[in-house]
Structure 1
């Protein structure tokens, strides 16, 4: 059994990443100073993208590491029980402290999906992830999922899941919107985090233990972008434009900062920007005639240049239409909407559908960075961990 330490540097804790996908959650945590030591992803297409994109991204940041690799490119269940996972992740012995992050596949809880919930194939994977948390006893954990888990038909099961985790962990959850983290995308996600209770009680004095809250204690908004938080309701956003009418440039700096306009690649720059020409062909006359800003229809949603994107992709990985050109957004443009750095490049010659699916599944990187900073702050406050303050202030 892991033995608690009174203090340690958070950046020295190895972090296990489950359901890694393209590594967007990992990028956010690495930017905040964490060390991702082990990864798990079963989709072999995503594995290729992660290894290529993360290698390029880390090298651009000057991180001297070997090429990025998915350490366990198989289904989580095929790794065996928790003891087998620990042995695979730490072949030289399990450290006293480590962290776990992951976003289990969530289609069974999504509004657009079958909503089979915890009885569905993907819902059971959420159970598996939580079981591994309980049995492996990381110092902290993060679980990301869709907000459908909080709906009436899933809420009781979610609370039972949280209750089982709460025996050994001080937990909190929140429905967060990526727009509040300065991402040009209004996308809500559920985050559940936990700190191991024995580490909390070890670090605090008796008087401090009496004041530890049990509900809504994380203070999530602390790490959100102060200038842009609440902008969806606060700002007067443009809607649908009349045909052949050029939208006025907004005078509001917040609207300009959170609109997709800066995510678009100019035609003359496409040849020099990686993944800028990776897009689905568009042949539908109906799509071409869709006015700018029309995103309420079921398909052929066209973004407004001075408005945020509703999501990265939608439906069955359908890609939004360019605000004014007769084409869909490119891989690079959708990556930008997800807050992914330009140095993260996807390899050529791979299926476009797999690329967009991976991008759409990912957590927006600035949002992941914000959550990572929240966990670091709480680990320092409640567990006495030492944190790298410069890493937490690095918004680059």
Structure 2
């Protein structure tokens, strides 16, 4: 079987796409409305030596794709990809502030909330072989939002999709960050029949979808480790790693792994407007407040959310974290960079919005497992995908 072909929506800087592509999927089509994010997407691919998506990168409101002539144009590309690659997947995480407890919480009526319904409608119109939908846990856990979420699932079921879902935590995949997200995956019934699955229900039985295949650190284990709590802040003080914790889930491990001090985005961080006083009185590891959370070097980071006045401080420096450090917390390969001329606001927004790379990678491989596709075999079947040596090196490091 050749590699599944991917159409990506709300692509941002491409963290989710990179997780799929580095595991053998073919990137066909990319959609992103915000110009700085799309520029970053294209910049990062050049840095990594990855070719442009086959059908290009498109800066356009996804709602336009529901109407003619855009609808027919997209249908032609989807059919072309199906003819060439067999399986076509739509992946995307619509903007989530309207479902976030810490965000606007406007739900389905908010400008961002409406985009979830738009994405679902696009799936129902274009009928990809499978899809992935990612969003904040508030959509899944908050009662008033859950009603909307279930309505969206029912619509997908009515249009021939069988779904499976899981509330994941990025820590489970080796990301040094506590980040819970709902992942909904759906497959066309005809695709399941072709694969030999006998499924007459709309919900895929739990035992059939291998959610646990690429979980490295089950949440039940992670939270039982003797993680350090807080230590007094002292700039540049050395603290040894405590025993009994998985070092690879710590902020400091990833700062060193990605050599953040020498990363191209190392010097990019917000400077305080009124002195450093606030930056020196918060203990290392004190993330109890809404704003001004200081990371602990030997613990995982809180969710990488850098808007709404949420400020994350460096564990042992009197400053906010840098773009390079935020990228490390999102488990990106150290070769991944953002454009130097990108504003700090856009840089931190696109980093915070992205799906952590290792979580994306784990989910991508889980879908391949379910489809019965070997990652190695898919990579061997590639014809158009010829990554540079630097890109191949990145793949060998991260998957």
- 1:43 corresponds in structure 2 to 34
- Cα 1:177–1:326 change in 2 (3 A) is same
Residue 52 of structure 1 pairs with residue 39 of structure 2: no
Offset at residue 235 of structure 1 (A)? 0.5
Which one of 62, 73, 76 corresponds to residue 76 of structure 1? 62
Contact preservation (8 Å) 2:44, 2:337: yes
Shift of 1:229: 4.9
Shift of the alpha carbon at 1:86? 5.3
Question: Structure 2 length normalisation: TM-score?
Answer: 0.85
| Selected match of 1:127 from 113, 117, 120 | 117
* Partner SS state of residue 371, structure 1: helix
Go from structure 1 to structure 2 and tell me whether the alpha carbon gap of 1:67 and 1:169 turns closer, same or farther (over 3 Å shift).
Answer: closer
Q: Find the residue that maps to 1:353 and give its secondary structure.
A: helix
**Which of 24, 37, 40 is 2:15 aligned to?**
24
Distance in 1, matches of 2:201 and 2:34, equals 44
Partner of 1:349: 341
**CA shift digits 1:121-154 (9 cap, x unpaired):** 1111100100111111000100000011112111
**Residues 1:87 and 1:331: Cα distance change in structure 2 (over 3 Å):** same
CA distance in 1 between counterparts of 2:149 and 2:316 reads: 42
Give distance in 2, aligned partners of 1:196 and 1:160. 18
Give the unaligned 5+ runs of structure 1. 1-7, 381-385
- Answer whether contact 1:47 1:70 (CA < 8 A) is retained: no
Q: 8 Å contact 1:82–1:136 — kept in the other structure?
A: no
Unpaired stretches in structure 2, ≥5 consecutive residues: 380-394
Contact 2:163 2:184 in 1 (8 A): yes
Distance 1:19 1:276 in 2: 26
Q: 2:323 aligns with which of 331, 338, 343?
A: 331
* SS of residue in 2 equivalent to 1:221: coil
Q: Are positions 1:141 and 2:131 aligned together?
A: yes
CA contact (8 A) 1:340 1:364 kept: yes
**CA offsets, 1:327-357, max 9 Å, x none?**
1111111101101112111111221110000
**How far off is 1:199 after superposition?**
1.6
* Structure 1 counterpart of 2:146: 155
Q: How far did 1:249 drift?
A: 2.3
Confirm or deny: 8 A CA contact 2:276 2:318 kept in the other structure: no
Correspondence 1:224 to 2:215: yes
- Provide the C-alpha distance between the structure 2 equivalents of 1:190 and 1:69, rounded to a whole number of angstroms: 29
Give, in angstroms, the shift of residue 170 of structure 1.
1.1
Answer yes or no: is the 8 Å Cα contact 2:332–2:357 preserved in 1: yes
Q: Which position in structure 2 is the counterpart of 1:279?
A: 269
Distance 1:356 1:243, change over 3 A: closer
TM-score, normalization by structure 1: 0.86
Tell whether 2:73 aligns with 1:87: yes
- The corresponding residue for 2:386 is none
The farther-off stretch of 310-319 and 357-366 is 310-319
Is the contact between residue 10 and residue 92 of structure 2 (CA under 8 Å) also seen in structure 1? yes
Correspondences of 1:171-320 after superposition (within 5 Å): 171-204=163-196, 208-209=198-199, 214-216=204-206, 217-226=208-217, 229-244=219-234, 247-254=239-246, 256-264=247-255, 270=261, 272-282=262-272, 283-316=275-308, 318-320=310-312
| Residues 307-333 of structure 1: CA deviation (Å, up to 9, x unaligned) | 000112344264411101111111111
Distance (Å, rounded) in 1 between the aligned partners of 2:338 and 2:226: 36
Distance 2:267 2:166 in 1: 37
SS of the aligned residue for 1:332 comes to: helix
SS in 1 for 2:213: helix
Q: CA RMSD in A?
A: 2.8
Match in the other structure for 1:321: 313
Once the two structures are TM-superposed, the CA of residue 223 in structure 1 deviates from its matched residue by 1.4
The corresponding residue for 2:383 is none
* Cα separation, partners in 2 of 1:388 and 1:323, compared to 1, 3 Å: closer
**Distance 1:360-1:159 versus aligned 2 partners, 3 A rule:** same
How far the C-alpha of 1:373 sits from its partner, in A, is 1.1
* Equivalent in 353, 357, 375 of residue 388 of structure 1: 375
Does the aligned pair in 2 maintain the 1:55–1:68 contact within 8 Å? no
Contact preservation (8 Å) 2:27, 2:53: no
Q: Counterpart of 2:133 in 1: which secondary structure?
A: strand
Alpha-carbon distance in structure 1 between the residues aligned to 2:102 and 2:78: 43
C-alpha displacement of 1:95: 3.8
* Residues 137 and 269 of structure 1: CA distance in aligned 2, closer, same or farther (over 3 Å): closer
